[in-house]
Amino acid sequence: MPKRDVEEFISHWKGATAPEQSISQQFLCELCDLLDVPQPGNQRNGSYTFEFHVSETQHDGTPKEGRIDLYKRASFILESKKFQEKVVEQTSLELSAEKMGAVAKRKKIAAPVRDTDRWDDAMLKAYVQARDYVRALPTDEPAPPFLLVVDVGHVIEVRADFSLTGRAYQLFPDPLTYRIPLESLRDEKIRQRLKLIWTSPLELDPSKRSAEVTREVAKHLAELAKSFEKKHSPKVVAEFLTRCLFCMFAEDVGLLPSADGKKGFTVLLNSLPPDGTGFETMLRTLFAEMNEGRSKGNDVSVILRRKLLKFNGGLFADNTVLPVNGTQLGILKAAAALDWQHVEPAIFGTLLERALGGEGERHKLGAHFTPRSYVERLVLPTVIEPLRAEWENVRAAAVQIGKGGKIEKAREEINRFHHRLCEVKVLDPACGSGNFLYVALEHLKRLEGEVLDFGKEFGEGFKLQMETVSVDPHQFLGLEINPRAASIAEMVLWIGYSYK
């Protein structure tokens, strides 16, 4: 049949009523046409096919045969379902007509109804089934970066694991937009995202962009450090640049807004004359105010003309500022202008060591770029996976308890697990600049976010109650003999905590 345009596709499939078994493959083939990607079955060896065969081993050791609805090697596993639309409640007149036999009684719907608790549970079970298929793949098949759950004609759920371990699938791109409603396919950006999942899934890995931007930051740091160290000691230079870089992170999360609501640190830099006149006085005032805080009554920041929180932790206790020339100011401006939402502290810490340390110190610290995927190969199985497995059991138990009407008991189950998350301690006995600790913190915060979002289903007040305690950097401990590396690790954790 001819390819449907996006409006025809949405209109046709939104009203589809046939059962999933009879229309799923047709829907997915037409979706491929819409995305302008090849349909399944066009590649050899079953690398892109419907009904891909796998054999799972059950708890008792016996095999269980399974078939993946749609599989594309090194790209995704897709599990397809077809659930029911919400049924409009009957009027009293219709109910009376049924009782009198004037009309046939409406059949009860056994399948989950969309956008209900039962539907959410069914979609979650479909995801668990897809995840189990990852573990059942033949040994020569790589773990795919994406898992997709499709409710035909309604929504596509997307989860990703760029560590390629098959053990850390997260809602993608975030918990608010991981579900793609059928109507959202009108958005070209959404269609492009899905197309990349089919054709070049690893291009969607945000860490690749993070590494690129972070290396650019490190390049600017190296230039500044080299020029500053002609007149100042490496220690003084490192501490000053650390304060500047913290400001660049802080303004991106709204902690350093200017009077007009823009990025305060960048605004201050851009307000200076090209030769850097006034730089020392301006930054020394800012650092002192950040150390003390300006947030009570009429006590506002002189330099930003706004309320300013106190940045404790000692980073700004020393408000030393190095004088700059026009070239150095220009480099600082260029660094501040970068997209800091892509600068990942886990990568940044190591590159900071390389930028600021001499050859001897770099060798002593073992400073090198550790790809995030390598860090996750240790962090995920030792810290995150056991907690996620525990959470899945708690979540399932809370659902069953809640269905039985024991809401308070269900809340207790969720609360107990959340408190456990907030008491977990992670120790890195040779933490360097904190890469491993930061990645552990980020994954634990993601899991906490899922727990809080689930708790919201048991009442907004309950979610607010849960937020009185939180996973924070105090749970992540490190040992390091080099003071500079230790201070960088602490900064990385606090930046990551506030930024991510």
63 in Cβ contact with 56 (< 8 Å): yes
Four-residue CA torsion sign, 179, 184, 189, 192: positive
What is the DSSP-derived secondary structure letter of residue 257?
A: B
- At how many degrees (to 10) do helices 435-456 and 407-421 cross? 170
C-alpha 459/C-alpha 411 separation (Å) is 9
pLDDT recorded at residue 85? 72
446 in Cβ contact with 170 (< 8 Å): yes
pLDDT recorded at residue 233? 84
pLDDT recorded at residue 98? 57
372 in Cβ contact with 344 (< 8 Å): yes
* Dihedral pair phi/psi, residue 273, rounded to 5°: -65, 160
User: 10 Å Cβ neighbour count for 65?
Assistant: 9
* Dihedral pair phi/psi, residue 25, rounded to 5°: -65, -35
pLDDT recorded at residue 362? 42
Pairing between β-strand 426-428 and β-strand 476-478 as defined by DSSP bridges: parallel
Residues 6+ apart with CB under 8 A from 3: 30, 33, 34
| Low pLDDT (below 70) residues in the chain | 1, 18-21, 42-45, 58-60, 86-111, 297-298, 312-313, 346-371, 460, 463, 484, 498-500
Domain boundaries, the chain: 6-204, 207-343, 372-499
pLDDT recorded at residue 4? 85
pLDDT tens column, 265-302: 999 999 999 999 999 999 999 999 888 888 776 677 78
pLDDT recorded at residue 367? 42
- Cis status, amide bond into 173, omega within 30 of 0: yes
pLDDT tens column, 53-89: 998 776 667 777 889 999 999 999 999 998 877 654 5
Tokens for 447, please give them. 């899991």
What is the enclosing helix (H) or strand (E) of 157? Answer: strand 155-160
19 in Cβ contact with 29 (< 8 Å): no
The terminus-to-terminus CA distance of the chain in angstroms comes to 47
